[in-house]
A and B are shown apart, each in its own frame.
Chain A
C-alpha cells in the first residue's frame, strides 16, 4: 500500500529543482497538474545530469562518425570496429559529487556504473582507467579523499575482476572543495552481437533483474549531480544518504548472467542499466529510442524495504540493476539464467505502442506521461562571457619572474619531481589489480597502457589506452588546453606504439548558469572538436559534469579525454624507460620554445598558474606521432616518452628512474627556437615532443624515419652511468632523483 500522494504546485516543483519555465512546460505537455511521481520523472529526466540541457548545443559540433564507428554518442557506450569481427565498447563518466561526499562508495559505484554501461552493450569489460583530481596535499580532506577514492576504485574493480590498467592523478587548490572522479571502462564485443537500450517489439515483456530496489541514491542525478556544493549546508555530510552503496559481487553475477543471456540468439531484445535516475531513465529512454511506450506495474519491482512510494521506486539509484526487454514467449529461458546465478529477476511490465510511460501501483495509474518529450529533455543556449580573470593570468610573463640558475637547477628538478602531480603514482596503482584477465601487456607507469586482445583465430592484437587532461592549460585557455588534452592522449598512444582510434570524454566544469563557465565549456568543446577532427579520432561517447563548484568557486575547466588506439602486434609495444647502457637518446619533435606558461615549474617554484598556454601546432604534432609510430613498428626504439608536465628535465628523469632498473645518461639541451633561460629549456612544456632511445646501430634508421615523417630530430646524448646529466647545470645521482620521485606521493597520503 502506498500513502496518498501530495498535490504538486509550482512551489513543490520549484523545491524539486524545476524552474517556473520548466514547470509550465511540464503542465503543457501533460495538460494537467502532474502527480508527485510524474514530477519525479520530469525532475530527473530534465536534470542537467540526464538531459545535457546546457551542453547539447555545443556537443553536436563534436566529430562523432568515421568508417569504423559502429555507435556514437547517445547509447550506453560508444562502439568502434577493431577488425576481425570485434568491437571496442567504451565510455567515461564522472562520479565527482558522490565521491566527495563519501569517497569509497562514491568511487566504487562510479566504477560499477561505467562497467554496466559497457556490458549492457554485449561487451565483456577488459580494462578500466580512472582520472582523479584532488585539492592540494595541505587541504585537510585530501588525504582522506585520496585514500578512500583509491580504495573504492580498487575495491570494486579488483573484486569484479576487471584490470585497472592506467589513470591520471593530479592536485590543485581548485579541486579542494570539489574533487573529480572520472571512471573509464573498455569492453570487447562481437560486432554481430551488440545490444542497444531499445524497448522494441510491442507486447514484449519488461524484465527487471539484479539487486532489489531500496531507498538509496534517491535524487542522485537531480539534487547531487546537478547542483553545486555549499559548505554552509554541513560540508555535504547531509547529502551522504544520496550516495549509493556498491556491491561488486552482485555486479559480477549480473555481468556473467547478462553475457549468458546475450549469447542465446534472439532472446534479448534490448537492455539498459539503471544508472542515474534508476528505473526512470532506463524505462523512459528505452521507450523513446524505440518510439514505443511501456506499461509498468511498480508493485512487481523487487524491493529491499516495505513502504516505498512509487516516487521512491522510480527515483531510487540502488546499484547493480538492469532493465531488459525479452522476446515474448521466452520468459522461462531468461529466468533460468538468473536462477543459475542466484539473481533476483521479475517481469514488471510490457512494451506498448502508445508512446507513453504508464506506471501502476495498487491498481491505480500513478503516472501517465509521453516518453519522447521526457527523453528529449530540454535544450538551453545559455549566455556566455569571456572570464575576466584571463587578462590578468595571461598577462603574466613567466620569463619576467626570477628563475633559478646554475647549481640551483638541480634542486629545482628534485622539487618538480617530488610534486605529487609528477611523482610516481605507484602507491595508487598498486592498489588496483592490473594483471587480472591475463591481458595486460603494458602496465600502469608508462605513457599508455596496452592490453592484448585475442583474435578469434587465437593470435594477438593490442589496444592502447590513456586518459589525460592538463587543466592548468585549460584554465589559461580552454580552447588550446582542450586541444592539448586530445593531442597528448594521441602522443601517449604513439609512444607505446598504438595508432590513435577514437575518444570518449568527460567534461568537468563549474556552474553552467554562470556565463564565464559556459564560455569555458564552449571553448573547450571547440578545442576537442578541432583536435579530434585533425587527428581523425571521433568522439564516440562521453559525459558532461557541471556544477563542480563549492561556495561559488568553480574548478578549472577539466575536459578529460580518454583515447584508445590499436597496435597490430602488442609484442612491439614500447615502454617509457631507458633499457640499458650505451643507447642513443634523441628528441623527436618541436624545438623548445619559451613555454613556461601554465607549467608545473611555475606552480612549484612560484606558486602560480599563469602565463599563456603553449601553442599547439597540430600538423607538427601529427608528424611527430607518425615518426614515433613508424619507429615503433620498425622495432627501432627501445623507449619512447612524451614530454609533458615538467618538460624535458622531468621526462629524462622518468626515463632514468621509472623502469625496473635505473639507467643514467649524459644529455645536452636541445636547440631552442628563441633564446631562452636554462629553466625554460629544462622545464618548459612545449608540446609535440617525444624523448626516444635506440641502439647506436639504429641511429641512421631512426633519423631516416623522422625525416620521412617530416619530424624534427636531434640527438641529445647516450645512456649509461649512475647519474643523469642534463646540459651544463644539472647533474644528479639516480638515487636522489628516484628518492624525490618516489617519495612525492607519500606526502599526500601520510
Chain B
C-alpha cells in the first residue's frame, strides 16, 4: 500500500508516521506538503500529530484551512481512508470531517503516558482487523484531548465511537479517562466510517523495543482492508478498499 502523510508547519509526528509505515510495516509512504492543493495517488492519508502552525489559536484551527485539507476533503468524500492522530484528530474536527471538538484536558495539563483504549463501534479501515472489545495499550501526549460534542450518545448509537479510554480489563471507568472526554471517547469516525481519528498515538506503539506494538493493529487493519495482504480478518470488514483509489485528486 501507499500512504500519504500530511506535513504542516509544526507537524512533529510526521516522521514517526513515516517510520511506522515504511520501517515497521515495510510499505510505501510519502509526505504531502500543506501548500499542495492536490493529493498524489495514495491508498490512505495520515494526518499526523504535532502543533500545526504552533496551535496558537485553537488546536488544528489554522491547518484545517490549508490548501491540502481541501484535497483531503475531496479524497474523504470519495471514500478514501483517512487516519488522524492527535493533532490530526483536532485538524479533522476543525475541518468538519469529524464530529465534535477537542478542548483542554480536564487536568489543564499536558498528559504523556500509556493509556488503554477499547476498540468498538462500526468497522473502519483502521480497525477492521481488531475484534470489537479488544483493549490496546497506546501512549497519549496531548494538552487538548478532551473530546466534546453536542450529542455524544448519538455518536455511540451510530457506531461512530471507535476508541474509548478504559482500564486494563476493558472497563470504561472515570479513573481510566486521562483528559475528561465525554463518554471516555478517545477516537471517532465519520458516518461513512472511512475517516477515523484518535488522540492516542498508534504510530508510537508499533515495536516491542518502544514498549509495545498494539498500535500496529491499526495499520495492519488498513493493510487488510485494502486487500494488499492475504489474511483472515479477525472481525468482519465492510469497507470497500477499491473506493479509495478513485478519488478525483488522483493524477494517475
A-to-B contact residues, CB < 8 Å = 151, 154-155, 158-161, 247-250, 252-253, 341-342, 429-441, 443, 452, 454, 458, 460, 570-571
Contacts and interface: CB of A to CB of B under 8 A. Distances in A.
Given A438-B203, A443-B211, A159 B19 contact: no
A437 B16 contact: yes
B211 A249 contact: no
B169 interface: no
A460 B113 contact: no
20 contacts: A158-B110, A159-B54, A161-B12, A249-B10, A249-B55, A252-B54, A430-B109, A431-B109, A431-B110, A431-B111, A433-B141, A435-B112, A435-B139, A438-B15, A438-B20, A439-B210, A454-B23, A458-B23, A570-B209, A571-B209
B9 A438 contact: no
A524 B20 CA distance: 46
A337 to B, nearest CB: 13
A360 B20 CA distance: 52
Interface in B76-100: none
A433 B9 contact: no
Interface string B41-54: 00000000111011
B112 A247 contact: no
Contact of A341 (B9, B49, B55): B9
Given A252-B12, A438-B20, A430 B112 contact: yes
Contact of A436 (B55, B111, B141, B143): B141
Nearest to B33: A340
A406 to B, nearest CB: 38
Nearest to A150: B109
B-side interface size class = 20 to 34
A435 B110 contact: no
Contact of A435 (B51, B53, B55, B210): B210
B10 A159 contact: yes
B54 A435 contact: no
A158 B142 CA distance: 9
B38 interface: no
Contact of A430 (B12, B113, B209): B113
Given A437-B15, A441-B209, A247 B9 contact: no
Interface of B is mostly: mixed
A440 B13 CA distance: 14
Interface in B26-76: 49-51, 53-56
A-B CB proximity, top 10 nearest:
A161-B12, A249-B54, A433-B141, A159-B51, A438-B16, A435-B139, A431-B110, A435-B204, A433-B112, A154-B110
A712 to B, nearest CB: 33
A428 to B, nearest CB: 10
A248 B16 CA distance: 19
A570 B206 CA distance: 16
A79 B110 CA distance: 32
A170 B203 CA distance: 34
B223 interface: no
B240 to A, nearest CB: 31
Contacts of B23: 454, 458
Contacts of A437: 15-16
Given A249-B10, A252-B12, A438 B112 contact: no
Contact of B112 (A250, A431, A460): A431
A521 B143 CA distance: 41
B201 interface: yes
Interface in B186-211: 201, 203-204, 206-207, 209-211
Contacts of A439: 210
Contact of B56 (A249, A342, A429, A431): A249
Contacts of A155: 110
Contacts of B54: 159, 247-250, 252
Contacts of A438: 15-16, 19-20, 203-204, 206-207, 210
Contacts of B207: 438
A432 B51 CA distance: 14
B16 A436 contact: yes
Nearest to B20: A438
A434 B206 CA distance: 16
A748 to B, nearest CB: 14
A471 B181 CA distance: 43
Nearest to B7: A256
Interface string B1-17: 00000000110110110
Interface of A is mostly: mixed
Nearest to A343: B9
B104 to A, nearest CB: 13
- For A430, A434, A439, A454, which residue has the most chain B Cβ atoms within 10 angstroms? A430
Contacts of B109: 151, 430-431
A264 to B, nearest CB: 18
A498 to B, nearest CB: 15
A440 B201 CA distance: 14
Nearest to A441: B209
A486 to B, nearest CB: 29
Contacts of A342: 9
B18 to A, nearest CB: 10
A433 B143 CA distance: 10
B90 to A, nearest CB: 14
A164 B42 CA distance: 34
A342 to B, nearest CB: 7
Contacts of B49: 436
A342 B13 CA distance: 20
A437 B112 CA distance: 14
Nearest to A437: B16
A452 B24 CA distance: 14
Given A248-B54, A458-B23, A570-B209, A434 B112 contact: yes
A454 B24 CA distance: 13
A452 B15 contact: no
Nearest to A570: B209
A429 to B, nearest CB: 8
A144 to B, nearest CB: 15
Nearest to B18: A438
Given A159-B10, A252-B12, 7 more contacts: A151-B109, A154-B110, A158-B143, A252-B10, A430-B113, A436-B204, A438-B16
- For A155, A161, A454, A458, which residue has the most chain B Cβ atoms within 10 angstroms? A161
Contacts of A441: 209-210
- For A155, A341, A436, which residue has the most chain B Cβ atoms within 10 angstroms? A436
A318 to B, nearest CB: 16
B9 A253 contact: yes
B209 A452 contact: yes
A443 B139 CA distance: 12
B53 to A, nearest CB: 7
B51 A248 contact: yes
B112 A249 contact: no
Contacts of B53: 249
Contacts of B19: 438
Nearest to B138: A435
A158 B141 contact: yes
Contacts of B143: 158
- For B13, B50, B111, B209, which residue has the most chain A Cβ atoms within 10 angstroms? B209
- For B16, B109, B110, which residue has the most chain A Cβ atoms within 10 angstroms? B110
Interface in B204-252: 204, 206-207, 209-211
A252 B210 contact: no
A161 B54 CA distance: 11
A161 to B, nearest CB: 3
A570 B51 CA distance: 29
- For A155, A431, A433, A437, which residue has the most chain B Cβ atoms within 10 angstroms? A433
B205 to A, nearest CB: 9
Nearest to A660: B114
A249 B51 contact: yes
Given A159-B51, A431-B109, A436 B13 contact: yes
A445 B210 CA distance: 15
Contacts of A158: 51, 110, 112, 141, 143
A160 B209 contact: no
A454 B51 CA distance: 25
